Every structure is written in C-alpha cells, then in structure tokens.
A and B are shown apart, each in its own frame.
Chain A
Amino acid sequence: DAEITQSPRHKITETGRQVTLACHQTWNHNNMFWYRQDLGHGLRLIHYSYGVQDTNKGEVSDGYSVSRSNTEDLPLTLESAASSQTSVYFCASSRGTGGHEQYFGPGTRLTVT
C-alpha cells in the first residue's frame, strides 16, 4: 500500500543546531507540502513543491529550507534551530491541486531547547 512516512517521529535539539526532517511518499504524487501545527493555530504552510526541482515558500518559511531531487522525498531543514520552531511538523502530498485531497504523514514532534 502507498504511504507517506516521516522521520524521526520525535527530536530534541539545541538552539543553533541544524536539523533535517525527512519525508518520503510512495504515492508517486507530484505535490508535497510541509506544515507546522501549533496550539491555537491552524496548520501553517512552510514550503511546498509541485515537482522535482520545484520548491516554493509558504506563509512561514523563514529559517526553513527544502529541496526536491526526486518525486518521493522532500526533506525539511532548519538552518539554525530556534525555540520558536518547537512544534509538530507534518508532511503531506497530493496528486494535484483543485480539489485533490492531501495525504498526511504521521508528524514529527520537534523540541528546541
């Protein structure tokens, strides 16, 4: 069965360190997204990609970067982790836009101390 996975599921890191969160999907979807979810806020879009070598900034992209070298993977890098980046991070993928549902990974809980 097709799926979308994230690793690690939990991560504790220190302020200033570089952190990379992995996202891998076997749906063969062109579109992939990274969101963060914080209490009292809706899911907020960090970065997204509509295909290999395509990346775009979302609403809250400062301090984050992504790269898309193949269809399956969209790793999210925190260049220099800050306490404000403590959050739950969700990766999602979809077949397209215009009514196509997004499939979510299980999430990564990141704590920056």
Chain B
Amino acid sequence: GQNIDQPTEMTATEGAIVQINCTYQTSGFNGLFWYQQHAGEAPTFLSYNVLDGLEEKGRFSSFLSRSKGYSYLLLKELQMKDSASYLCAVEDSNYQLIWGAGTKLIIKP
C-alpha cells in the first residue's frame, strides 16, 4: 500500500528552528510537495523536491532523500503566523498526489 507518515503535532518557540519530518512508501515517485494549511483555510504550496538534496526558499527549506524515502521541512526564525498544519504529499507513478495527514505546528511566544 501507499503510506505517508508525519508527526501529528509539534510545538516550537517563536524565533527558533523546527524540522518537520515526512517518510513515505509509495508506488513510484515523481516528486514530493510541502503545503501549508492554516486552520479553516485551503492548503497553499510551499516547496517541491524531485532530486536529492536541500531546496532553500527564504525562511523555509525542504530536503529529500529518495533512497531513504524521507523528507523534511525546515522552518527558521519562527513567527507566530507559522502556526499551521504542514502537509507532505508524494506524486506517485500515476502522477497522483498521496497526502500525509499533516503536522500541526504550534508556535509559543
């Protein structure tokens, strides 16, 4: 079967750094996406990785290891507005997105 695992909830402090992990087992791999979803709102795109390594975009970075079936999203200089759920999704061999259940990130002052 296809499976995407993420921690259910994480807590971090404003100004700190947090790493959200995602492991996957899917039928094929055509890339991995990270989305942000604030409570009651739609998911919005953060990043896309298809090759191994780190992609940096401002305060957010995403890492991929295809051989390990592993990715992480790194958020630096945390702000209160970063309180949200972070969704990991893998594009499988049929180009369908398989979604994790999301990690709820709580930022404390």
Contact = CB atoms under 8 A, between A and B. Distances in A.
Contacts of A104: 42-44
A99 B31 contact: yes
A95 interface: no
Bin chain A's interface residue count: 10 to 19
A97 B91 contact: yes
Contacts of B89: 42-43
Contact of B30 (A48, A98, A106): A98
A106 B101 contact: no
Nearest to B46: A101
19 contacts: A42-B98, A43-B43, A43-B87, A43-B89, A43-B99, A45-B96, A45-B97, A90-B42, A97-B30, A97-B91, A97-B95, A98-B91, A98-B95, A101-B48, A103-B45, A104-B43, A104-B44, A106-B41, A107-B41
Given A42-B89, A48-B96, 11 more contacts: A43-B89, A43-B97, A44-B99, A98-B30, A98-B91, A98-B95, A99-B50, A101-B45, A104-B43, A107-B41, A107-B42
Interface of A: 40-45, 48, 58, 90, 97-99, 101-107
